């Protein structure tokens, strides 16, 4: 009946209950072990999915904060442009005014730099459609074709993302790249 020796007296005392004591119990134990392993696997998968979801939410949160910062910085860019125009406009005739404007302009740029903002000033560099907006072409046989020869308005980027492309004049008619 079984793979092990059973005491005949025990067999007589237990009768039909003997079946629930031997092989059946071993089978039930194996079934329970398999079920435990299945639940363990399910729990590990759920834990991994939870960790992945948590990481995705952290990335989304960081991206939302970055986008909020980008909106504020984008609103400040015209103020920086105005500072630069005022500095150019006053020229050498008002040294005290120029000194004050330059100091405020420098502080504003330093604050923005701490937040990851960098100007895009591509004068003399090859034209890059992702970072530059060509507003004019200028024929120049001496300059490599598609080189930025003038900047109408500096662009800005923040953490590698372009907030505003630089408005540039691009050469044409020169030697190829």
Note down pLDDT in tens along the chain; length 177 residues: 445 666 777 667 666 665 555 667 778 888 999 999 999 999 999 999 999 999 999 999 988 887 888 888 999 999 999 988 888 888 777 777 888 889 999 999 999 999 899 999 899 999 999 999 999 999 888 889 899 999 999 999 998 899 999 999 999 887 776
- Are residue 37 and residue 86 in the same domain, yes or no? yes
Closest CA to 132 of 102, 98, 156: 156
Give the pLDDT confidence score for residue 27 in this predicted structure.
82
What was the pLDDT predicted at 80?
A: 93
Asked if 111 and 121 sit in the same domain, the reply is: no
Contacts 24+ apart (CB under 8 A), 73-80: 73/112, 73/115, 73/117, 73/156, 73/158, 73/163, 74/163, 74/164, 76/108, 76/112, 77/156, 77/163, 77/164, 79/108, 80/105, 80/108, 80/109, 80/112
Q: Are strands 132-139 and 166-172 parallel, antiparallel or unpaired?
A: parallel
- Provide the residue range defining the domain that includes 33: 1-115
Tokens representing 75 are: 């609103």
Whether residues 37 and 66 fall in one domain: yes
Residues 74-87: pLDDT tens digits?
A: 999 999 999 888 88
Q: Give me the pLDDT at residue 1, please.
A: 44
123-to-44, 82, 88, 156 alpha-carbon distances in Å = 56, 20, 18, 14
pLDDT recorded at residue 149: 94
Entry pTM: 0.62
Final residue belonging to a domain, choices 66, 85, 115: 115
- Residues 26 and 107 grouped into a single domain: yes
């Amino acid at each position: 009946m079984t793979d092990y020796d059973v005491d005949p007296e025990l067999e007589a005392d237990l009768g039909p209950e003997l079946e629930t004591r031997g092989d059946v119990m071993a089978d039930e134990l194996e079934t329970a072990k398999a079920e435990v392993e299945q639940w363990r696997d399910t729990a590990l998968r759920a834990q991994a999915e939870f960790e992945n979801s948590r990481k995705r939410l952290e990335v989304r949160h960081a991206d939302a904060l970055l986008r909020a910062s980008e909106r504020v910085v984008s609103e400040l860019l015209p103020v920086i442009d105005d500072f630069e125009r005022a500095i150019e406009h006053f020229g050498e005739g008002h040294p005290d005014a120029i000194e004050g404007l330059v100091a405020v302009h420098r502080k504003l740029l330093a604050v923005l730099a701490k937040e990851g903002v960098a100007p895009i000033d591509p004068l003399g560099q090859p034209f890059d459609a992702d970072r530059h907006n060509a507003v004019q072409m200028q024929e120049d046989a001496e300059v490599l074709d598609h080189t930025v020869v003038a900047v109408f308005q500096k662009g800005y980027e923040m953490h590698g993302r372009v907030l505003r492309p630089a408005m540039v004049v691009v050469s044409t008619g020169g030697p190829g790249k």
